Structures are given as structure tokens and as C-alpha cells.
Structure 1
Amino acid sequence: MKKIVYGLLLLIFGSAWSALAAQNYPEIQQLVIDSTVLGEKRNLVVYLPAGYQNNKDHFPVLYITDGDIQGPHTAGSLDYLAKFDQTPAMIVVGIVNPPQTRVRDLTVTGADKQNTQQLANADRFLAFVEQEVIPLVKQRYRTLDYQALSGTSHGGQFAINALVKRPGLFDGVIAISPSLYWNKHQLLELTELAMKSNQLQGRLYVSIANEEAAMTEPFQKFVELTQRYQSEKLKVASQIFSQETHNTTVLQGQYYGLKHLFSGWAIPESPQTLADLQTIFENRSKLLNTPMAIPEDRAAGYGQWLQYLNRQDDALALLQWNRKTYAQSLNAHAALIKACLHFNMADAAKAALQQAFESIDGLSAEQKAQLEGLFTQGG
């Protein structure tokens, strides 16, 4: 039975898997911004998803701090997850934080040092991201109306500060081992105020490693805040990696953070009806703020799985939807004809054949013979 299920999974995902070898690796581009906000030039490292140059698709965007260091493994994890449809393919924008400016860029200014007339430190860097980096990326690349932010250590502090100070700017936030001890737990106070007023929204993932109490205690207090002020607007997940250190936890944190941001994205490895698939793709559409239809090959694959299980009504409903949605596809018409023959519905198979002849523009004699040949093959 396991071999049969594996074979059916190959049927469904085969076209995607066979395409992996033909796809390019993520493409890397380097950009320089002469920032007005920061008054200096800053570097970006952009990782485009595999095959970006070969299609016209638009993609969600993940912005990451310490992009020159965290970019390669993040882009690699996303590339793998996307190829197996666990997350969407994404553009990764790595914002470089050189050692000489990293603390200034990513940490919040103490309350006693803030100037209400001028942004500083993390707030100024957030303005740089919002006002200069994001517009440049939207102008230069094919982006969707979805953007996420990820950071580690001080970058994690920056990510939480962005969540609190600019609710809604990012649809998802990942903060790995965030330095919440900074300025006597200043961000905890700001977070509680924002949560009390129900301002925060989107999805948030936070994690910590096996670290000293100065890191773990404020982290635990932060998690307790998210539990105390639960909101339907903010979906939170937290995780402790007790076998990892501050420097190694980012690999797992980034992976599981991405899985949380796109929880509900993956299609279960079990038979899916038309209603099941429609629900999944409706959720995907809401998450990415763009319409997403069930791909033809997925509908055909799950239809054939249902056919194998002799779930006649479910199989035919899915394959009929596929034919109607992809009316110019020879494969969609052929799959429905095969299903009708499989279920000994000769008249329905003949009607499906006639529908194919009438629907497909420019159907060649060879293609007609291919469809007619399904009857002599016994479906």
C-alpha cells in the first residue's frame, strides 16, 4: 500500500520534481542605495527565486537583516521549501549591516535619549527600510503585496521593534534569539502597550537557544505577553532550541519561522477533493493578498488519486472542474475521458471527447487521434 501511495504522490508532484533539475539556482544581485534617510550608502544582496528570469510571476518578499551573512542559508531553505510547495517561492532581500554600524542600525534608543524631533538607531533604520529599500524592491522586481521581516540577535530586536512601531508594514515577522534585554527590557514595555491596544497584526515567530539568563528571561516574558494578550489579528508561535547556541540557532529558527509564516500553505499528502483544494488555495490567496487558482497538474493528479480509490463522485467533480478551468489543455480533457472510461461511463466519455473537440482551439489531427485512442486503450 505504501508503494502505491508513493506512486500516486509521484503522479501528483512528478511534474514539479522533474522540473527541479531544469531550474536555475537562486540568482544573486547586489545593489547599493545612496540613502537620504541614513546619509550614507548601504548595500543590499537580493536573492531571486529559481527560474525568476524565465517567467512573469510575481513573488512575496522576505527582508532580512545581516543579509550578507544570513542570506545564503535563508535563500537556500526557501528554495527547497518552495520546490516542495511548503511555502511560496520568495524574493529574499538581504540588508547588509556592517560591524561598524550594526548596533546603531538594529537597537532601539533608550527612552531617556530619544529626540522627538529626529529618529535614531533602529527607528531611523526602519524608516530607511520602509521609505527607501521597500520602494526600490517594488520598483525593480516583480513583487506581490506581501512582505515579511526576519532578524537574529540585534536583528531580532529590530524585527520586534518594527512589529510594534509599524503594525501592518510586515505581514510576517521572524525574531530569532532577539536581544530583548536591551535598555532594561525596553521593548517589553513597548510590546505590552501595543498588545493592550490590539494594534499588532500578521504572523509572528520567535525563538531562543540554550543561552544565558539575560537572553532567556526577557524572551520568556515576551512569550508570556503574547499569551496574555492573545488576538485574532496576530498569530504567534514560539520555540526553544535547547541543543543550539546563540550562533547556531538561526538555521533552525529561520526554517521553522518560515513554516509558521506559511502554516496552512502545504497541501496534505492525502487524497484531496475539489472542496479541499479550493479551501487551501482560498487561504493562500488571503495570505498573499492575491488570487491563486488550483494548478492544472495538481487538480489532475489528485483527481487521478481519487479515481484510483474509486471515489467516483469526488474524482469526476475535480476533473470536470479542471477541464472547465483549463479548457485549452489537452491533458485536462484526456484525464476526464480516462476517468469516465475507468468508471465504465461510456456515454459520458464520448460526450467528454466531443467537448474536447469543440473546446480546444487548433486541435491537430494527431491530438484528435490521441484522444480517440484512449477508447481503444480501455481508459
Structure 2
Amino acid sequence: MNKITSNLILVLVCFFHLSVFASVKFGKIEENTIDSQILGEGRELIVYLPAGYEDSKQKFPVLYVTDGDIQGSHTAGTLDFLAKFDLAPSMIVIGIVNPRNKRNEELTLTVKKEAQLDKLAGADRFLAFIEEEVIPLVKSRYRTLDYQALSGTSHGGQFAVNALIKRPNLFNGVIAISPSLYWNNNQLLDLTEEALKKGTLNGRLFISITNEEPTMTEPFQKLVELTKKYPSTNLNISIKKFSDETHDSTTLLGQYHGIKHLFLGWALPNTPQTLADLQLIYSSRSKLLGETMVIPEDRANGYGQWLQYLNRKDESLELFTWNRKTYPQSFNAHIALIKAYLHFNLTGAAKSAIEDAIKSINELSSKQKEELEGLLT
């Protein structure tokens, strides 16, 4: 990598970092109580709305987190950081509280007796609560996309894997951190093997473990072996082992790497990107979220300037022209194209672009008009 290219990377990185710091906003936390018919009691939900939620009409994907009073806040913070640097989308985080005295009952599998085969219990009952009561409530109260994910740690990780198996189309992505797979004599491993054999699982799964007792690590390794024995093209799996963490501390890293796996390929590369390159990335984002996503104006301008500095004339002009057409009321989009024309000594095109900007920008200030006209002097 030559010195000029290195300097260009630094310029682009600094530009994106400055744009983040210049627009720092904070999310909002809301507390809701849902009167559950399935659980037969009220249950607290802690809702973490992303930065900018209240100032827009945008819809957001949702991440549901068990043990929400413990795991919700740091998960929302991790997402906020990743989203600010465009490494993952902004998300609504729903922290579902599991009271300490009911946690085992709600998050773990139950061995059913014959007389109970027609009744939901344990993790299956709590999963029904989320599917039939929590998710509809969230969709009715907040602006949500259809994309939704689930994350859980320890017994919550067991619950997350069970949810993937029992409701393979309910969540687009699942994060299971240090899951208690040993429960009920490795019951969940048998269910997982059956599902992998049938090929019914899809979406993205992140599972992780740390330095723990063999009770935890041995069934985890068996799960890893099952995913290798029954590979699936429909289930994208990432497996991590955090050797320097404990069962309590591993959640912080697990959520970070888990979210990044759910949105693998989301980040924009720190290399020159053409219009076609960017459109491919945003097309992939749109497909993942089920919502059309368009290249933002500042991203198009940033990469257009990078291509301009590299004297890749046709590619930079194509990107700047697309940006002006897509954001016709943006002064920055117009002026970036004009400056590119001038950079490549296309004076006639620059003059026409200035005239176009003056005509098309509805609320053009006298100062902006003077700046445009001054570009040719």
C-alpha cells in the first residue's frame, strides 16, 4: 500500500468518525408491564429505543433479550456503538425480565410426563409467551421491521437454542452465549440433532463458550460436532471460544461478536467502492432486513471523493451523479459533483451543474448561491 493510498484511507476514516461524533444522540429507555394470559401474571419489559428513534419515522429491527434487567443495557450499548460506526443496524432492544425465583422454570426445558403432553411448560411455555404476547405488543407500540433476533446467556442460551429448534422461522438470528446444554441429560442436543438431520433450521446462529466446567464445555463441543456432521446451507453458524473470560463476563464479548455475526457483511469496506459496489452491499442489507435501503448521501459523497482523489474519473462521476439524482435537494450532493467536474477539467459540465443546482434546490440561500457561482472564478 503506497503512501498516497494510506493517506486517503486516513482521510476517509477520519471523515466518517467526525460525522459520527458530530451527530451523537442518545437512545431512550421505556418500561412496560405486559399482563400475560399465558404466564398468568404481569411481566416487565425494558425497551431500549435506538438513538434517533423519536426524531424519525424510520422502522427498526428488534433484538429480544432474556434476563433483560441484567443483559439489556449493555447489549443496547453495544448495538449503539456498532450502529454509530455502521457496523450493524440500529435496533430496538426488548429486555424481557426473568425473575430470579422463576428463571429456571421459564428458560429451561421440562421433562414431561404422559399426562402433561398436551400442555406447554418451561421454556416452551415462555417461548409461547414471547411469540403470542410480547412480539405482537412490541409491533403494535413501536415502529418495527419484520427482522427480529433473540439473545440469551446460560439458561437464556439454552432457551435461545430451543427457540431456534421449536420456532425456526420466528427469529432471523439467534445468539446463545454459554448455553446450559447439559440440562435434562443433554436433552437439547438430541433435539438439535433431529432438527439438523431434517434440515429445518435457517437464519444465523452464534454460539459461544468460555473456560468452564466440563459439564458446560463437553455438551457444547458435542453441539459443535453436530453442526459439522449435519452442515446446512440455510443455517449460517459462527462458533467462538473466549478463553480469557468467565461464565459471568463472557456475555459482553458474546453479544458483540454475536451481533456482528447476525449482520455479517453489513460493514462498508475501508477500500475504494464504486456505485455498483455500494449498491450490492445495500441490496444485501435490504434483503436481510426485508426493507429497501438506499446508500446515504454522505456515504456516496465520501466514496466519490475517494475515487476522485484516485483519479478514477468515470467511477467517481457516476457515483456523484447518482447521489445528486437521488438527493436532488441536497446542496452537498450538487456541490460535490460540480467540484468533481472541475477536478477533471470538465468546465462546461460544471457550469451546467451549477445552473441545475440553482434551479432545482428549493430553499437555496443567497450564501449558497454565491458559493456555487464562485466555483468558476
Smaller-chain TM-score bracket: over 0.9
Aligned to 2:15: 11
SS state at 1:207 partner: strand
Q: CA deviation at 1:369?
A: 2.1
* CA contact 2:9–2:270 (8 Å) conserved in 1: no
2:208 corresponds to which residue? 207
Would you say the 8 A contact 2:203–2:235 is kept in 1?
yes
Per mean C-alpha deviation after superposition, the further-off stretch among 268-277 and 174-183 is 268-277
1:266, 1:112 → 2: CA distance? 49
State whether residues 174 and 204 of structure 1, in contact with CA within 8 Å, keep that contact through their aligned partners in structure 2: yes
Instruction: Normalising by structure 1, report the TM-score.
Output: 0.95
2:135 counterpart of 1:121: no
1:63–1:92 CA contact under 8 A, matched in 2: yes
Shift of 1:295: 0.3
Structure 1 match to 2:185: 184
Counterpart of 2:118 in structure 1: which amino acid?
Q
SS at structure 1 position matched to 2:236: strand
1-structure distance, mates of 2:212, 2:346: 65
Shift of residue 242 of structure 1? 1.2
- Equivalence for 1:274: 275
Residue 4 (structure 1) shift: 4.2
Task: Specify the alignment match of 1:44 in structure 2.
Answer: 45
2:8 touches 2:306 (CA, 8 Å); kept in 1?
Answer: no
Q: Report the alpha carbon displacement of residue 14 of structure 1 after superposing the two structures with TM.
A: 3.2
In the TM superposition, 1:150-189 aligns within 5 A as 150-189=151-190
Structure 1: distance between partners of 2:294 and 2:115: 49
Amino acid at match of 1:47: Y
1:114-153 equivalence runs, <5 A: 115-153=116-154
Write the mapping of 1:60-99 to structure 2, written as runs, cut at 5 A: 60-99=61-100
**SS in structure 2 opposite 1:52?**
coil
Distance in structure 1 (CA, Å) of the matches to 2:8 and 2:236:
37
Counterpart position of 2:326: 325
How far, CA to CA, are the matches of 1:159 and 1:235 in structure 2?
A: 15
Matches of 2:260 and 2:365 in 1, distance apart? 45
2:86 counterpart letter in structure 1: D
- The code of the aligned residue for 1:267 comes to L
- 1:214-253 counterparts in 2 under 5 A? 214-253=215-254
1:194 is aligned to 2:195 = yes
CA distance in 2, matches of 1:73, 1:364: 44
Secondary structure, aligned partner of 2:174: strand
Give how far 1:260 is off: 0.4
2:101 match? 100
Any idea what SS the aligned residue of 1:371 has? helix
Task: Give how far 1:350 is off.
Answer: 1.6
C-alpha contact 1:12 1:300 (8 A) present in aligned 2: no
CA contact (8 A) 2:209 2:220 kept: yes
Structure 1 gaps of 5+ residues are none
| Distance in 1 separating the partners of 2:91 and 2:363 | 36
Tell me, yes or no, if structure 1 residue 283 matches structure 2 residue 289.
Answer: no
The whole-number CA distance in structure 2 between the counterparts of 1:352 and 1:115 is 74
Alignment of 1:32 with 2:10, yes or no, is: no
> 1:357 Cα deviation (Å)?
3.0
SS of 1:175 mapped into structure 2: strand
TM-score (norm 2): 0.96
- Structure-to-structure mapping, 1:360-379, within 5 angstroms: 360-376=361-377
The equivalent of 2:316 in structure 1 is: 315
Which whole-Å CA distance do the structure 2 matches of 1:276 and 1:114 have between them? 59
Matched to 1:303, the amino acid is: G
Deviation at 1:358, TM superposition (A): 3.5
Letter in 2 for 1:218: P
Q: Which residue pairs with 2:110 in the alignment?
A: 109
Deviations 1:249-291 (A, max 9, x none): 1111111001100110000111111111001100110111100
What is the distance in 2 between the residues matched to 1:363 and 1:93? 43
Contact 1:107 1:122 in 2 (8 A): yes
How many residue pairs are counted as aligned between the two chains? 373
Report deviation, 1:371: 1.2
Report if aligned partners of 1:27, 1:49 keep a CA contact under 8 Å in 2: yes
Amino acid at match of 1:353: I
Q: Distance in 1 between matches of 2:245 and 2:14?
A: 35
Displacement after TM superposition at 1:365 (Å): 4.0
| Residue type at the aligned position of 2:332 | N
DSSP 3-state at the match of 2:46: strand
Structure-2 change in CA distance of 1:334 and 1:211 (3 Å): same
